[in-house]
C-alpha cells in the first residue's frame, strides 16, 4: 500500500468547543499566557536552519524588529516559567531566548523556542502552535495512557507544548540502528511491538519515523531504548485503520523487518498482551478523567462522516465487535476501542 494513499495530504485544525474548554479548565491545562501564536508571525526575516551535515532541516530561524523582539522575548520567558514552574518571574533575568525557529511544512506550523539559563548554559525547547482540538485530545490521551507524562498549556487559539527529548526515529533508523548490537536490536524490536500496539489501541495515527523519537536509557551495564510519540495531530482523524498501526508505514519498514528477524510470534503476542494490560491499568487509574475526556470527544467534530464510516467498518472487520458498527462519531469509536481493550483484559484476569 502506498503511503500517500494511507495518509491524507492535509488535516484541518479543529476549534476547541465549550465542553473541551471546560475540561481544560478543570484539569489545569487552560492557563492565561502573555503572548499568542499570531504574535510570533510578525517576523522581519528568516534564514534556513541546517543540520551538522549542511542539510536543510525544514526549520527557518526567524527575526523580529528590535521593538517586537524585546516584547516577544519577555513574553516567551514568562511562558517558560508558567510551563515549567509556578510562573514566578524572579529568574527571568537569568533566562535568554537563544532562537525562535518556524516550520511551515509541519501541519501545525509550529514555532520552536530555545530557552537558555545563562548561569549554567543549560537549555531546553518548547513549542508554540495553533490550537487544534484533535491534537489536544492526542496529548491528553498520551499523558494518561502511555508511560510518559506530558506538559502542555492551552489558551484561546494558542497551544504551548514542552519539548520531548530523543533521537528522531528516521535519524536513528538510518544512522544508529545498523550499529546496535544484536541484543539491542531485540530490545528495540520489543519496544516497537509495544509502541505499535499502544498507538493502535488509542487511535493515534501517522507514526511515521519522523513523528516519534528513540530515547536511550542507561541501565547498569546496558542501554534500554524507549519509543515516544512526538506528534499528536492525527488523533482519531483518518478513516483507514492501518494509519493507526505504525507497522504499515513504509518509513518503519526497517523496524518491522527487525521485529520479524528478532522475535518469534509467541514473543510478539506476549508483548502485545503486556501493553494492553498496562494500558488498562492506566485507564483504571485515570478513570474519571478519561471518562470526562471521552465525553468531550463524543460531543466534538474532529473528522468527517466518510472517515468515521470507513474506520468503524475496518475496526469491526478486525475485532468482530458489533459495537464499532453502532458508532456514529470518532468519539464513540474511541470509547468503544478503549472499552474493547478493557473488557478483554477483565475477561482474562477474572479466570
Q: Is residue 2 part of a domain?
A: no
Spatial CB neighbours of 315, under 8 Å, sequence gap ≥ 6? 241, 321, 324, 333, 337
pTM of the prediction? 0.93
In a domain, 143, yes or no: no
70, 103, 130: which is the final residue of a domain?
130
Confidence at residue 7, expressed as pLDDT on a 0 to 100 scale: 65
Number of domains, the chain: 2
**Does residue 148 fall inside a structural domain?**
no
Do 200 and 87 share a domain, yes or no?
A: no
- The grid coordinates of residue 52 equal 551538522
pLDDT value of residue 351: 45
Contact in structure between 324 and 333 (CB atoms under 8 Å): yes
* Full domain range(s) for residue 276: 167-349
Residue 136: inside a domain: no
In whole angstroms, give the CA distance from residue 268 to residue 161: 33
Shared domain for 199 and 342, answered yes or no, is: yes
Q: Is 156 helix (H, G, I), strand (E, B) or coil?
A: coil
Residue 11 included in any domain: no
Positions in the chain whose pLDDT score sits under 50:
1-4, 350-351
Q: Which of 72, 104, 130 is the last residue of a domain?
A: 130
Contact status, residue 230 vs residue 171, Cβ threshold 8 Å: no
Q: Which residues of 252-281 are buried (b: 16+ CB within 10 A; e: fewer)?
A: beebbebbeebbeeeebeebbeebbebbbe
Residues 6+ apart with CB under 8 A from 183: 222
What three-state secondary structure class fits 28? coil
Strands 111-117 and 56-63: unpaired
Q: Beta strands of 103-157 (E only): which ranges? A: 111-117, 123-130, 152-155
Does residue 309 sit in the same domain as residue 208?
yes
> Looking at residue 6, what is its pLDDT?
64
Please tell me whether residues 196 and 341 are part of one structural domain: yes
pLDDT at residue number 293: 98
Residue pair 112/46 in contact (Cβ under 8 Å)? The answer is no
Give me the pLDDT at residue 104, please. Answer: 87
Is the residue at 265 inside a domain?
yes
What 3-state DSSP class applies to 12? coil
What pLDDT sits at residue 295? Answer: 97
Is 218 within a domain?
Answer: yes
d(CA 142, CA 202): 9
Q: Which three cell numbers stand for residue 97?
A: 531566548
Amino acid at each position: 500500500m502506498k503511503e500517500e494513499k494511507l495518509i491524507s495530504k492535509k488535516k484541518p485544525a479543529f476549534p476547541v468547543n465549550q465542553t473541551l474548554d471546560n475540561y481544560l479548565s478543570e484539569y489545569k491545562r487552560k492557563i492565561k499566557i502573555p503572548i499568542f501564536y499570531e504574535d510570533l508571525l510578525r517576523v522581519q526575516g528568516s534564514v534556513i536552519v541546517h543540520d551538522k551535515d549542511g542539510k536543510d532541516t525544514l526549520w527557518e530561524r526567524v527575526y523580529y524588529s528590535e521593538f517586537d523582539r524585546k516584547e516577544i522575548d519577555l513574553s516567551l520567558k514568562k511562558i517558560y516559567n508558567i510551563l515549567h514552574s509556578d510562573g514566578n518571574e524572579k529568574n527571568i533575568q537569568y533566562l535568554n531566548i537563544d532562537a525562535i525557529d518556524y516550520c511551515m511544512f509541519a501541519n501545525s506550523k509550529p514555532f520552536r523556542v530555545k530557552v537558555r539559563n545563562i548561569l549554567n548554559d543549560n537549555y531546553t525547547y518548547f513549542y508554540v502552535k495553533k490550537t487544534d482540538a484533535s491534537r489536544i485530545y492526542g496529548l491528553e490521551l498520551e499523558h494518561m495512557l502511555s508511560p510518559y507524562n506530558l506538559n502542555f498549556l492551552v489558551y484561546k487559539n494558542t497551544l504551548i507544548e514542552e519539548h520531548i527529548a530523543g533521537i528522531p526515529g528516521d535519524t536513528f533508523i538510518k544512522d544508529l540502528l545498523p550499529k546496535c548490537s544484536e541484543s539491542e536490536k531485540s530490545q528495540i524490536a520489543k519496544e516497537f511491538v509495544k509502541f505499535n500496539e499502544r498507538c493502535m489501541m488509542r487511535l493515534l495515527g501517522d507514526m511515521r519515523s519522523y513523528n516519534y523519537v528513540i530515547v536511550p536509557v542507561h541501565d547498569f551495564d546496558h542501554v534500554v531504548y524507549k519509543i515516544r510519540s512526538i506528534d499528536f495531530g492525527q488523533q482519531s482523524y483518518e478513516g483507514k485503520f492501518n494509519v493507526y498501526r505504525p507497522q504499515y508505514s513504509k518509513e518503519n519498514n526497517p523496524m518491522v523487518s527487525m521485529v520479524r528477524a528478532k522475535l518469534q510470534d509467541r514473543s510478539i503476542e506476549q508483548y502485545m498482551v503486556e501493553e494492553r494490560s498496562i494500558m488498562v491499568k492506566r485507564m483504571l487509574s485515570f478513570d474519571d478523567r478519561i471518562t470526562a475526556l471521552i465525553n468531550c470527544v463524543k460531543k466534538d467534530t474532529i473528522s468527517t462522516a466518510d472517515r468515521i464510516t470507513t474506520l468503524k467498518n475496518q475496526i469491526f472487520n478486525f475485532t468482530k465487535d458489533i459495537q464499532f458498527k453502532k458508532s456514529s462519531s470518532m468519539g464513540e469509536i474511541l470509547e468503544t476501542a478503549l472499552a474493547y481493550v478493557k473488557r478483554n483484559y477483565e475477561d482474562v484476569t477474572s479466570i
